[in-house]
Structure 1
């Protein structure tokens, strides 16, 4: 991967060059932004993930708030695991012995090096949801991460809904809209049939570790790319530019979620 990153880059990315590219894209000081990222897609960066986080914070300045999804999907119901599955005799052991979610120490899973680095920064606040938490740093961090309910963790009681209220931005660094968690909020808000399943995770309740169950939406991320393609073409509200050796996309979350809810509603209506 290191060789691939070098091959992708004309010049090494640095804190100052990445911050300048983010500002040129339209990320302004004082903004609130939820960022999804792939370090390898940005080419070779001096300082790696650490430098990317510092560049984001530099672009936002002290009045801005940086948010990232810090999901830990390894804390889910083992009976549902498919990639890979685990033997059924293991299920009860996993439910009984997996460490409880701790916002301070639980690592992220499959979220990338930039997210895992950001999670450890001094002052970062992380929401209490065991599988779909969000971390934030900045003036709105405490507000955005508080009160994250177990049921419907990407819905109306999630940090995504608070980001919508705050008129935040969505920044995709080297990744596509299939990684865009804000579109899950659009799924919840769409006038379309919905189905749910029971999820389970280890958490701390009244000082004791417990395995708890809660409701989770059956999502369909396969729709996110065509939805976002229409959003960009119809609204012209998606900004695209280079960051390092990769491509970045920036848009207002509120515009994207509103468009997405309408798009999904219309798709459901056309299917009937």
Structure 2
């Protein structure tokens, strides 16, 4: 939705107060652990843009709760497999040699949306160390959720996703859908799958020096995430609450229930 369409979609501006009220009506409460995926363009014309969304989320969850958002930086993936766009073969060694090191406090996210990128830079927000699949967090459990994020199996058991699961957290899909629901990647690790593995390398800052790190991970596949999400909502309607936030459709999802269901579904259907 472009800005002209966003203005036309609402009778009044979408404000911090309105977003906060809508989130409470949806069921978000103070003290929640909330993993957020959002599309700002779906909310209508927001007074203050992404900052208003972050402010509203913080107001509702409060510092007694914890907000988490994916801040992935896939520009640090292997350039030899880039396809959108691909780069010339003779660029690949230069890219690998010249990329600045990943720094959690500075490196921008890629493809995560304006709200997550704004949230990443908020005071007291902390970010995990993974150069491709980092998460940012704010609130009571922020430090413990992002700490010790393993390079290996980046969205598995030693990831912020698993720490949200441990806290009986919820997923907020705010104008987003299950296609971008990163919690289903945790289900991939827990499913009974014969998953291929890939080797990744990326530069990080270690002891104030640029250092290349290497790790292995499963081959992630989000192609069936919309099917998994739809099947979960049909099987467990009690675990999903839906309402409007601004002009966006929002869903509040029980994350552990979703992950458990997703692992079983993938074991049976992949």
- TM-score over 0.5 for the pair: yes
Aligned position for 2:247: 245
The aligned counterpart of 1:108 is 109
1:187-225 residue CA offsets vs partner (Å, 9 max, x unmatched): 000012111111221112343212222112212211111
Is residue 2:206 matched to residue 1:233? no
What is the CA deviation profile of residues 160-209 of structure 1, one whole-angstrom value per residue up to 9, with x for unaligned ones? Answer: 11111011110011011010000000000001211111122111234321
| 1:151 Cα deviation after fit | 0.9
**TM (normalized to structure 2)?**
0.97
| Residue in 2 that maps onto 1:216 | 217
2:195 is matched with 194
Q: Is the 8 A contact 1:96 1:211 kept in 2?
A: no
* SS in structure 2 at match of 1:29: coil
Partner of 2:256: 254
Once the two structures are TM-superposed, the CA of residue 109 in structure 1 deviates from its matched residue by: 0.6
Tell me what 2:53 maps to: 52
User: Is the Cα–Cα contact under 8 Å of residues 62 and 139 in structure 2 kept in the other structure?
Assistant: no
Q: Which residue of 1 aligns with 2:14?
A: 13
Paired residues, number? 268
For the residue of structure 2 that corresponds to 1:222, the secondary structure is coil
**Mean CA deviation greater in 179-188 or 232-241:** 232-241
Structure 1 ranges of 4+ moved more than 4 A? none
What is the distance in 2 between the residues matched to 1:29 and 1:255? 21
Aligned equivalent of 1:24: 25
Superposition pairs for residues 164-203 of structure 1, below 5 Å? Answer: 164-203=165-204
Contact 1:36 1:172 in 2 (8 A): yes
DSSP 3-state at the match of 2:264: helix
Name stretches of at least 5 consecutive residues in structure 1 with no aligned partner: none
Contact 1:27-1:60 within 8 A present in 2 as well: yes
Structure 2 residue 14 is matched with structure 1 residue 3: no
**Aligned-pair CA distance for 1:73:** 0.5
Aligned to 1:151: 152
Q: Is the 8 A contact 1:95 1:211 kept in 2?
A: no
